[in-house]
Amino acid sequence: MIPTRRKPPRVGDGPIIRRVLIGTTLFFGAILVLAPLIVIAVEAFGQGLRAYAATIAHPDTRHAIFMTVATALIAVPINTAFGLAAAWAITKFDFWGRRFLLVVIEIPFSISPIVAGVAYLFVYGLQGLFGPMLEAADIKILFALPGIVLASMFVTAPFVARELIPLMQAQGRDLEEAATSLGASGWRTFFSVTLPNVKWALLYGVVLCNARVMGEFGAVSVVSGNIRGQTNTLPLHIELLYHDYQAAGAFAAASILATLAVVTIIAKVALERRGAGRRPALAAAAKEQNAGTRP
């Protein structure tokens, strides 16, 4: 009888270490995540439902909500199209500058949002690169909705592409090449083969992109001008309320973003169960590839 070799123990296999790790994680999670959400809910409704409803129904709050939703409705579809196009080009074609395009996609993650906002000032501001030309054409970019949309698009540009590129690389090009060899056009191949295989990962990236757009503060605070009732998004409006010592109103407005965060988490978990996200999607793609190559 051949003796079996025992695998070396993993870190945390012991019951004491496992309990310490789990307890530490739960402790810090409760302090850093759950406690702020509970405080927001308690303070938002601390003065009753009537005061909460009055805060949400205030014209400035309603306009901030409108600006936030309008920004998301414009920025998210554009970034979705950009992410799809970038992922498709990088994973399905070989061309000069492919690695450079990958670097460009990652740039917003390595630059502070405030720095990005200041950069937009030097590009579209009155003293910027295109400022005199825009002023002569009576086109207003900064301190208006277009500037907010541009800043939000810059910050959230990588989200969709980062979810799609690893999955599409794992899937390879065999299916697209087979469809092309059977006479399918490029668009037919994309809509019938490529898109169905990445739909859950695509939706996963869209959810994350939308949540970041609605919660963006740094870049938007620079390019919007922070004008109450005109260019304020919801995060900026919360800051103004807090600085005006309207704590109840600030928490009431913050509860909207907190609710969005909870909905995003629920959607994220639901999509991960369907195989979205980079890790589950890569595992599913590898499993399908192994099944296809198995004799």
Asked whether residue 213 falls in the same domain as residue 251, the answer is yes
Co-location of 67 and 206 in the same domain: yes
| Same domain as 117, residue 27 | no
- For residues 119 and 33, state if they share a domain: no
Angle between helical axes of 59-92 and 49-57 (0-180°, round to 10): 70
Q: DSSP secondary-structure letter at 191?
A: I
* CATH number for the domain harbouring residue 256: 1.10.3720.10
**Does residue 169 share a domain with residue 113?**
yes
pLDDT in tens, the chain (295 residues): 455 556 656 665 667 788 888 889 889 888 888 888 888 888 888 888 888 888 888 899 999 999 999 999 999 999 999 999 999 888 888 888 888 888 888 889 888 899 988 999 888 888 888 888 888 888 888 888 999 999 999 999 999 999 899 888 888 888 888 888 888 887 888 888 888 888 888 988 998 899 899 988 988 999 988 888 888 899 999 999 888 888 888 898 898 888 888 888 888 788 777 766 555 555 555 555 554 444 4
Domain of 276, in residue numbers: 48-293
| CA–CA gap between residue 12 and residue 23 (Å, rounded) | 12
Considering the domain architecture, whether residues 266 and 171 belong to the same structural domain is answered as yes
pTM above 0.85, yes or no: no
Say whether both 52 and 20 belong to one domain: no
How many CA atoms, within 13 angstroms, populate the side-chain half-sphere of residue 86? 26
Residue 1 included in any domain: no
In a domain, 98, yes or no: yes
Q: Is residue 93 part of a domain?
A: yes
- Same domain for 187 and 145: yes
Residues 216 and 140 in one domain: yes
The answer to whether residue 188 sits within a structural domain is: yes
Question: Are 213 and 71 in contact, with CB atoms under 8 Å apart?
Answer: yes
Residue 245 has a CB neighbour count (10 Å cut-off) of 9
Pinpoint the alpha helices (H) of the chain: 15-29, 35-44, 49-57, 59-92, 98-110, 113-124, 131-136, 145-156, 158-171, 174-181, 186-189, 195-215, 218-223, 234-243, 247-273, 278-293
Phi-psi bin for 255: left (phi > 0), alpha (psi -120 to 50), beta? alpha
User: Does one domain contain both 176 and 246?
Assistant: yes
Same domain, 62 and 39: no
Q: How many domains does the chain have?
A: 2
4 lies in some domain: no
